[in-house]
Structure 1
Amino acid sequence: MPPLSIEQHWIDTSHGQLFAQSWRPYVEHGAPIVLLHDSLGCVALWREFPEQLATACGRQVIAYDRLGFGRSAPFPGTLPANFVENEAQAGFQALREQLDFNAFVVFGHSVGGGMAVGCAAAYPQACQHVITESAQAFVEDRTLAGIRDAERQFAEPGQMARLQKYHGEKAHWVLRAWVDNWLSDAFSQWRLDAQLSRVRCPTLAVHGDRDEFGSALDPQRIAALTAGPASLRILPDCGHVPHREYPDAVLAAVSAFLDPAKA
């Protein structure tokens, strides 16, 4: 018998279906872990991490493509400036209702980390733990510089094919949704402070010390402003994707955070 059961799901919303996938250990304990992807991400770009996480923690792991990303339906129009806080009442809520889970753990990478905080704030009785990885807590100069560099790289011949592989015809929208929102005047004052003040559960903020999209000020702000207990894990010589660069360290940190007896 394989160690995990893997299922695909289609989640109905008023704007089209979301694609989701789950990894369930045959022996499991604890609330499921829901993964929220980054600004250019999708289920497929988590690669082997969900399976590794499910195995390490002994919990079901659920990942989904937000509307406009991956295998989900296109987003109707442009992404609004309040898209980070909106996700808790949009795709995440639909996922939770249709997969029928109450208690949950939420793990978000990059902008998905901000959305994870929003989900914990929106459902304080149901969220048991929140994990942010390389999350932004405010609009930092380093974040904007990293986005401008990435935009220039995607303008080079053949580079958009990297996004089209995962997002198909939606690839241009995905790139513009990221770049245009973060570089806009309307988004310049965005910060996570209000959502953090409503998080009651334990929070773990994971960050690489060489993250090109955010300094240590981001996880420090997350840990300082959350209303619940919080801890930091700064990974040395690590960039923006710790779960790909140092998966063993991330898995160990998350497993110990969710089940201290394993530490």
Structure 2
Amino acid sequence: MSSIVTEQGILHYESIGRGQPIILLHGWINSWDVWRDLMISLANTKRYRVYALDFWGFGDSAKGSQAQTAAFQIDSYVEMVHQFMDSLGIQSAPIFGHSMGGTVALQISLAHPDRVEKVALVGSPIIGRSLHPFLQLAGYGSIAKLVWRYPIVLHSIMRILLAKDSKEVRNMIFRDVQRTTIESFFRSIGDLRDTDLSKQLPTLNIPTLGIYGAKDNIVSPTNADLLKNGVKSVEVQMMPQSRHFPMTDEPERFLKTVNSFLINHSNGQAVQ
């Protein structure tokens, strides 16, 4: 267990392997652990040093205070990754993100392309309004506080949303939501809901990968079309049997896609 100290408190991360640095960012009410299998697989190639971060407000990173609510917004998470890279002396690296983490990775790539060698989005919203309606509602403080006050309501909604997901995914989410505070719960998803990076996509000039589950009910897989139509150098892999966690639903295909992207430069052609 490793960490650095920031103005917003402790930033927890895990790392494994030796070689080129790669940074992995998790999604909403999740933690670094969503990347565990990928981290091990990449480290076993002996080519990569893999870092998986916990966003402020999630996992084992600082939960902040009500006075630090700005720390739970997309721009603040971009700054968090900058602080992490500066602290460890990482000038640039491939950055992968799942769900909200992919939106953060995309924002970093658009605003600071010199720090991102390649970017990969896994089930990530480019337009926040493509989120499931419940996630959009969870971004309103009054609704979030009501749900938070009655945990049985939150758990019931999560069971409905995750009913067709694997036991592994359900256990992971139910564990990670218990390490989340109400402030990070609704402020992060509220900011994500209001994010729209679609118009900036044509300015992205680094190799880009999009992986989406065809059966994703959390983030609409139509975001893949935005990537294909907006980014110059892009590969898009649609996972036909996957929902919101393709790394768990189709692990072999997911790993093959990631390895291919890391080894080869994008040729600008979308892969179906």
Which bin holds the TM-score, normalised by the shorter protein?
Answer: 0.7 to 0.9
Quote the offset at 1:40 in angstroms: 0.8
1:181-192 equivalent positions in 2, closer than 5 A: 181=191, 187=194, 190-192=195-197
Partners of 1:42 and 1:178 in 2: CA distance: 14
CA contact (8 A) 1:140 1:214 kept: no
Partners of 1:82 and 1:174 in 2: CA distance: 6
Quote the offset at 1:124 in angstroms: 1.4
CA contact (8 A) 2:69 2:183 kept: no
Q: Aligned pair in 2 of structure 1 residues 118, 180: CA closer, same or farther (>3 Å)?
A: closer
Q: Aligned pair in 2 of structure 1 residues 202, 148: CA closer, same or farther (>3 Å)?
A: same
Quote the offset at 1:127 in angstroms: 1.4
Moved more, 55-64 or 91-100: 55-64
Quote the offset at 1:209 in angstroms: 0.3
CA contact (8 A) 1:147 1:213 kept: no
**Among the aligned pairs, what percent are the same residue?**
21
CA contact (8 A) 1:164 1:171 kept: no
Of 43, 46, 61, the match for 1:72? 61
Match in the other structure for 2:110: 121
Cα offsets for 1:130-182 (capped at 9, x unmatched): 10000101133552246669x87984279499768446564433433355556
**Amino acid across the alignment from 1:225:** G
Cα offsets for 1:21-62 (capped at 9, x unmatched): 11114xx3xx32101110111123433332123335831110
CA contact (8 A) 2:136 2:190 kept: no
Q: Which has the higher helix share?
A: 2
**Amino acid across the alignment from 1:59:** Y
**Amino acid across the alignment from 2:95:** V
Of 13, 20, 27, the match for 2:6? 13
Runs of 4 or more consecutive aligned structure 1 residues displaced over 6 Å after TM superposition: 151-154, 160-164
Quote the offset at 1:128 in angstroms: 1.2
Is residue 222 from structure 1 mapped to residue 227 from structure 2 by the alignment?
Answer: yes
Partners of 2:219 and 2:154 in 1: CA distance: 27
Quote the offset at 1:117 in angstroms: 0.6
Q: CA RMSD in A?
A: 3.2
Quote the offset at 1:114 in angstroms: 0.7
Is residue 94 from structure 1 mapped to residue 90 from structure 2 by the alignment?
Answer: no
**Amino acid across the alignment from 2:121:** T
Is residue 211 from structure 1 mapped to residue 216 from structure 2 by the alignment?
Answer: yes
Is residue 256 from structure 1 mapped to residue 260 from structure 2 by the alignment?
Answer: yes
**Paired residue secondary structure (1:47):** helix
Partners of 1:180 and 1:232 in 2: CA distance: 27
**Paired residue secondary structure (1:244):** helix
Of 40, 53, 58, the match for 2:42? 53
Partners of 2:100 and 2:34 in 1: CA distance: 15
Match in the other structure for 2:187: 177
**Amino acid across the alignment from 1:110:** S
Match in the other structure for 2:238: 234
In the alignment of these two chains, the number of paired residues is 242
Is residue 140 from structure 1 mapped to residue 129 from structure 2 by the alignment?
Answer: yes
Q: TM-score, normalised by structure 2?
A: 0.76
Q: TM-score, normalised by structure 1?
A: 0.79
Partners of 1:144 and 1:250 in 2: CA distance: 27
Of 8, 18, 26, the match for 1:37? 26
CA contact (8 A) 1:20 1:65 kept: yes
**Paired residue secondary structure (1:21):** strand
- Give 5+ residue unaligned stretches, structure 2: 139-143, 159-170, 266-272
- Give 5+ residue unaligned stretches, structure 1: 1-7
Q: Aligned pair in 2 of structure 1 residues 79, 144: CA closer, same or farther (>3 Å)?
A: farther
**Paired residue secondary structure (2:261):** helix
